[in-house]
Amino acid sequence: MRLRGLRPQGGRERLKRNRFTMPDSFVHRDNPMTPFQAVALEHASRLINHGPTVLVTSLDGERRNIMAAAWSMPVEFKPPRIAVVIDKNTFTRELVIASGVFGICIPGAGAIDVTYAVGSSSGRDTDKFAEFGITPVTGPVLGLPLIETNCAAWLECKLIREPHTEDAYDTCFGEVVSAAADSRVFNNGHWVFDASNESLHTLHHLGAGNFARASNVLRARPLP
C-alpha cells in the first residue's frame, strides 16, 4: 500500500534523523500548494482544547482504519499529551495497541457525513478509507494515514501505554509528535472561525448524528 504523503523540507535524511521529532516545516510531496502548515507542538493542545469530534486513524502493517471519537482532550502542554476514549471492542483499539501509534484528524463541517459514517461501521471487515472514498496523506513522523480533505487539522501520536486506564476506562493516552492545520482556519496558534471558512468549522456531536458547528466566537471581557 502506498499512501500520498508529506515529506519534511530537507528530505529523507532529515526525516530519519528526527525519527520522533516533527520537522520545523514540511511540504506536501504531491501538493506543495496545500493550505496545511505545521503547528508548533506547544500549541498542539489548542487543536482539541474546545472539544471537537475527531477521527482516530490507525495503521498496523497493511491494516489501516479510521473511526469517529467525540471524547478526546489535552492532558499536558509539555510534552504535548492527549487522551482519547477508544472502546475496547473497536478495530481501532486493536490496531492502536498493536502498533503503538494513532492519528487524530479534526473534521470540518464539510466532513460531517464521512465523520458519522466512519463512526457507524467497523473496519474489521472492510477498509473504510476505500469504502467511503477517503484519500489519506502520510504523516511525516509516524507514517500514519491522515485526512486533510474537509479536515481542519491533524496530529500524530505515540501511544503512552497505561494498561489500567485502557482496560478500566477505555482511555488511551498519546504524546503528540507532529501536528498541522489548515491555515485558513487555524493560524498563529489560534482558531479563526468566520464566514469565509464555514466548511472547516469543527464539529461537536450532540448525539444520534446531530452536530453543532463551532461558529459563534465570543470574547470574554474583564468584569467591571
Ligand X SMILES: Cc1cc2nc3c(=O)[nH]c(=O)nc-3n(C[C@H](O)[C@H](O)[C@H](O)COP(=O)(O)O)c2cc1C
Query: What residues make contact with ligand X under the rule CB under 6 A?
Result: 53, 65, 67-71, 85-87, 90-92, 116, 119-124, 205
- CA–CA–CA angle 73, 190, 198 (5° rounding): 90
> Which residue's CB atom is positioned nearest to ligand X?
119
Nearer to ligand X, 117 or 192 (CB): 117
Nearer to ligand X, 21 or 162 (CB): 162
Give least dist CB 150 to ligand X, A: 15
Nearer to ligand X, 121 or 215 (CB): 121
C-alpha pair distances (Å), 215 with each of 29, 68, 108, 193, 198: 32, 21, 11, 6, 8
Give least dist CB 180 to ligand X, A: 22
Helix, strand, coil fractions of the chain, as percent rounded to 5: 20, 35, 40
Residue 60 gets the label, from left (phi > 0), alpha (psi -120 to 50) or beta, of beta
Give least dist CB 94 to ligand X, A: 8
Give least dist CB 56 to ligand X, A: 8
State residue 61 phi and psi, 5-degree precision.
Answer: 65, -125
Nearer to ligand X, 122 or 183 (CB): 122
CA Rg value for the chain: 17
Nearer to ligand X, 22 or 84 (CB): 84
Candidates 109, 112, 115; CA nearest to 213 is 109
Give least dist CB 224 to ligand X, A: 40
